[in-house]
Amino acid sequence: MELYRRRLEKLQQAMLREGVDVYLAATQVNMQYLSGFSEPPLERLMFLLVAQQGEPVWFAPALSAESTATNPAGWQTRYVWHDSDGPSRALEACTRDYDLETATIAVDDEMPAAFLLRLQEALPAALFRAGGELMGSVRAVKDADELRCMREAARLTDESLAAGLEPAGGQRCPPYNPVPRRASGPVAASRRWLRSHPPPEDLMTEGRVLMHIHTLRTMLRFSVRS
């Protein structure tokens, strides 16, 4: 809980500096960052509303309300709407409570267009702005928990790469034998390149296979364009 409160405080301070009244987090990554819970943005309007002061609140469809209520940060699910009614009434209540009619509202850069268009239609006088830069400035300063996770991810990555690059019983690539049939265009270009750049014998043992494939793919891409 304390972790999410610290993150909330950082975001609210940034909102105050930038003149943002409300931030709507509608993507999995930012919902997770601010609450510990996330859900894929599907066709039903859903977001975590963060005002300059106070705790965030969930705006969620009834199908997701039980899930949002279990968020580790403990933020309240205040606005719930049902398919039979649509989100209009819940959105009207949210608008009244947070004075959204003329507010400056920042939203996730990746908020689904259907969500944003619905909000703009309901709040024609509000000023909507992309919130990616704002949220990015907040998330750029990592807290202790994030640093711990990053170090663990780096350790696991290093171990995986080291294990993948170890020779498996001295395995080597078989000799390269080009297919002796006629071809044209990118296929012919790739075969000409492979004839002049055969895979090295130590390709597998030194872990150079990805570089070789990447070079070939790059060459093929330029061949197709030309």
Tens of pLDDT, residue by residue over 98-125, are 999 999 999 999 999 999 999 999 999 9
Confidence at residue 209, expressed as pLDDT on a 0 to 100 scale: 46
* Residue-level pLDDT at 207: 46
**pLDDT at residue 171 tops 90:** no
**Which pLDDT band, with edges at 50, 70 and 90, does 200 fall under?**
low
pLDDT of 222 > 50? The answer is no
Contact status, residue 115 vs residue 47, Cβ threshold 8 Å:
yes
- For the chain, give the percent of residues with pLDDT over 90: 58
**Alpha-carbon distance 113 to 103, whole Å?**
20
Across 8-17, 80-89, 129-138, 157-166, least confident range? 157-166
Band (206; pLDDT cuts 50, 70, 90): very low
Mean pLDDT of 180-194: 60
| In 65-197, beta strands by DSSP E | 76-81, 104-107, 127-130
User: What residues contact residue 44 under an 8 Å CB cut-off, 6+ apart?
Assistant: 61, 63, 64, 83, 87
So what's the pLDDT on residue 177? 55
Q: How far apart are CA 97 and CA 74, in angstroms?
A: 20
pLDDT for 44 beyond 50:
yes
Q: Is the pTM of this model over 0.75?
A: no
pLDDT at 188 over 90: no
Which of the two residues, 200 and 23, has the higher pLDDT score? 23
pLDDT tens track for 51-86? 999 999 999 999 999 999 999 999 999 999 999 999
C-alpha–C-alpha distance, residues 65 and 7, integer Å: 23
The pLDDT, as a whole number, for residue 205 is 47
* Two tokens, residue 188: 């012919």
For residues 141 and 183, what is the distance between their CA atoms, to the nearest angstrom? 54
pLDDT of residue 9: 96
